[in-house]
Chain A
Amino acid sequence: MDPLDAIRATFFEECAELLETLEAGLLALQAGEVGPDTVDGVFRAVHSIKGGAGAFDLAALVTYAHEFETALDGLRVGRLAPDPDVIAVFLRASDALADLVAAAQAGTDVAAPDPAELRALDTGADGTDGHPPGAEATTGFAPVMIDLGLVPEPESARPPEAWEILFEPLPDLLASGNEPLFLFRALEVLGRIEVECLDGDLPTLTAMDPRVARLRWRILLTPSATDLTETEVESIFEFAVDLCVLQITPRGPLAADALTPAPSETPPKPAPTPLRPTRTAASVPTETGRPVSAVGATIRVDLGRVDRLVNLVGELVISQSMLAQGMARAGLDQHSEAVTTLEELQQLTRDMQDSVMSIRAQPVKSLFQRMTRIVREAAQATAKDVRLVTDGEATEIDKTVVERLADPLTHMIRNAIDHGLEEPGARAAAGKPATGIVRLSARQQSDRVVIEVSDDGRGIDRARVLKRATERGLVPPDRSLEPVEIDRLLFLPGFSTSAEVSALSGRGVGMDVVQRAIRDLNGTISINSVEGAGCTLSISLPLTLAILDGMIVRSGRQRMVLPLSAIVETQTLAAARVERLGAAKRVVALQGRFVPLLDLAEAMGFGTVAPDGTEDEDTALLFVEPDDSGPFALCVDAIEAQRQVVIKGLGDNFGHVPCVSAATILGDGQVALIVDPSGIAAMRGLHRGQGAQPKEAIAV
């Protein structure tokens, strides 16, 4: 990658962090946590975005960030108080800034936000930095004007053959780190120089302070290029110009001895003495590109490296379990040293796996913070008063999960505000406070993370949901459903259509899409609504995408893994109540109703339904209930074990394999496919959303 492209990517990464800091700071101010650090942090965030944007010529971003920064400066110096109205303007500005950043990153155009609201905040801004960036020339201090009574050379004049420079430092020059010797060296790059030191003002040695400049110099510069201009000569003294008297005079060809010393001065000295020892590049070891010794508590690591480590530890887990199986087969004594050492190794491997997984873990805080904007916008669009309450922000989850949760959460929150919370009038009538609450919480429950979005609104209107589902043919008209079943209808594809969803929670996304996104993360989603009191959506997610809690089963001479999260119940075939429907179809009783019974090997396409005679006492039924279909049972030859497996992607060369989500390597080194029960349901037309609810699944 072009190094500049890499820096550009860094810039947008940094922008995302800065926007988070900005928003978090503004929200803290809004909550009354006013401190200089908070205000400074907010100011600096905008300032840094402006600085980086300038480096990439992102003019619209620079301009708006500048307006924003100027207004924030009012807050910083105390001209503005962090009143709710003021913070509200800043929050809107931070949203606008975020949009500009997003547009800049995507390379698209976005209408420049109107800075009028920001300007109106702080009318007293005199602008310590009131100029738009770049408005002033990028040269240094305003030069000290010295009237030397010289008539400037006309522009058209022939360039002089030499320049006479009178350089008289003010006493403070050295304290600023400007070193005359270095300036002369820089002049030397322009041509041949002859330097005369005028040291007439030197005090006695005892009275001399080496930090105070006392010497004066007269330099004759014979440029190597004939077209050297006075500005170029002057530019050498750019940083010293306010700390010296400088006189640059064009000269014709002159011999060195033609320099005219002032009458009071002593004869020329060969060269000025450096006032401090100088270091040259050669005197230090050159370790080009050596990074700074890590002083901070964190380091940034390329995600690819972490993933490689995760992968390697996964391999380690596999070979360790292969070793364990090998040793078991070798029939070693349980108390032998090899066996006990292996147990230690297993413990270490587990710890190592946990540690490696924790590298990828991120607190959900940043994700939750992003939702504050969603709430703000949705509240504005629906004219509802909404407060977002967050809980468990420190809960950590895999980075990829955090990233991929943003869209589903956004949609869930918009839904909660748009459909869940009542209009202000209705809330008052129900005796609820005018401000609706949307609660976003996260917590770890054993090896899963549960994220909940709840509101204190009206709850699901089940009569309406059922009516709509019936109209759309999602449920048979005469079917009576439990309240929980009605709530779950919301997840059916086709329940909401883009034509009907409101402008806010719209974009044609239904809860089915949310559910699919969660399922893609090996998660589950459930809904719990209490009429009149509100609704809670719970997402349960694995801590990591790299490990799966699986059930290893044997079916049709193959071993396969089913995600434990999809399995509701297991039974032996012998204990189950199986009924035949015609020649090929079988159903089995599950909790008082019949569900379809499929043979796993057959469903996967590498076996046939075992004739009844071959089913022995090991034959087991797994009841699975994928989120998007009704429950069904899978018949397997045997359940082998329940254990964590390392998920290995099938790789791009396989494309999408129906019914298979990934693969894993078992302890004995064999590859096993990880079955996707939703895929089976879809293949078999058990998908409820397609209205193809099989008749046999209806309660009898």
Chain B
Amino acid sequence: MRVLAIDDSRTIRDMVRLTLEREGIETQLAEDGIQGLEVLDTLDAPPDAILTDVNMPRLDGFGFINKVRERADYAGIPILVLTTESARELKLRARAAGATGWIVKPFDPARLVGALRTVTGLG
């Protein structure tokens, strides 16, 4: 499985990478929505799933998801939102933007990996 993870916090990026790579998931990282889009364009093939933070400089998570969903070749990529917010309103906004699901930070490693496996169908 190949995952693109976007978060403006280096700590969270490192944490996600450690969690995923321990499970043999190849992980690409980006620091904000703009870089996320740039990384997507540099990849030979789209990732199997994307994890994105919400609150980021330049282009936030919702804006990023909107942009990804606008592109026909990326429209079906499962996108999980990583957020510290658990308020329903935020989740509705994520859904409106086109998010597949959401994981609340601090995340439980097993849950994160499980959710990725579920949405990608890659056991």
Contacts and interface: CB of A to CB of B under 8 A. Distances in A.
Nearest to B79: A177
B113 to A, nearest CB: 12
Contacts of A185: 121-123
B11 A14 contact: yes
A128 interface: yes
Given A51-B12, A174-B76, A175-B69, A3 B99 contact: no
A7 B106 CA distance: 14
B28 A177 contact: no
Interface in A138-181: 138, 140-142, 174-179, 181
Given A51-B105, A129-B87, A176 B29 contact: no
A136 B57 contact: no
Nearest to A180: B121
A184 B1 CA distance: 18
B119 A288 contact: no
A177 B119 contact: yes
A643 interface: no
A238 interface: yes
A52 interface: yes
Nearest to B38: A295
A127 B87 CA distance: 9
Contact of B14 (A10, A140, A141, A243): A10
A556 B9 CA distance: 59
A177 B77 contact: yes
Contacts of B122: 185, 280-281
B15 A295 contact: no
A160 to B, nearest CB: 22
A480 to B, nearest CB: 60
Contacts of B106: 51, 54-55, 57, 134
B38 to A, nearest CB: 5
Nearest to B68: A177
B110 to A, nearest CB: 12
B2 interface: yes
Contacts of A182: 78, 118-121
Contact of A177 (B38, B99, B108): B99
Contacts of B95: 141, 176, 242-243
A128 B111 CA distance: 25
A643 B49 CA distance: 59
A141 B102 CA distance: 9
Interface in A42-62: 43-44, 47-48, 50-52, 54-55, 57
A289 B76 contact: no
Contact of A286 (B26, B30, B56): B26
Interface residues of A, number: 73
A14 B9 contact: yes
A239 B116 CA distance: 11
Interface string A281-301: 101111111111101100000
A293 B35 CA distance: 10
A276 interface: yes
B121 A179 contact: yes
Given A238-B115, A296-B35, A140 B44 contact: no
Size range of the interface on B? 35 or more
A69 to B, nearest CB: 9
A106 interface: no
Interface in B45-93: 45-46, 48, 55-57, 69, 75-80, 84-92
Interface string A21-65: 000000000000000000011011001101110110100000000
Contacts of A236: 118
B35 A10 contact: no
Contacts of B78: 177-179, 182
A212 interface: no
B43 to A, nearest CB: 9
B15 A7 contact: yes
A79 B99 CA distance: 29
Contact of A48 (B8, B28, B48, B76): B8
Nearest to A129: B85
B9 to A, nearest CB: 4
A476 interface: no
Nearest to B101: A239
B106 to A, nearest CB: 4
Nearest to A18: B9
Nearest to B56: A44
A186 interface: yes
Contact of B84 (A7, A47, A179): A47
A239 B119 contact: yes
Given A52-B9, A239-B101, A279-B48, A142 B88 contact: yes
Nearest to B111: A138
Nearest to A13: B10
A3 B2 CA distance: 21
B86 A175 contact: no
A130 interface: yes
Contacts of A135: 86
A511 to B, nearest CB: 39
28 contacts: A6-B14, A7-B15, A14-B11, A41-B57, A50-B84, A52-B12, A54-B105, A55-B11, A57-B106, A136-B104, A138-B104, A140-B101, A141-B95, A175-B75, A179-B121, A182-B120, A186-B117, A238-B101, A239-B100, A239-B115, A279-B48, A285-B44, A289-B21, A289-B26, A290-B28, A291-B29, A292-B29, A293-B39
Interface of A: 3-4, 6-7, 10-11, 13-14, 40-41, 43-44, 47-48, 50-52, 54-55, 57, 127-131, 133-138, 140-142, 174-179, 181-186, 188-189, 211, 236, 238-239, 242-243, 275-276, 278-281, 283-293, 295-296
Given A133-B86, A140-B101, A295-B42, 9 more contacts: A44-B56, A50-B84, A131-B86, A142-B88, A176-B95, A183-B118, A185-B122, A290-B26, A292-B39
- Nearest 3 pairs between A and B by C-beta? A182-B121, A239-B101, A177-B100
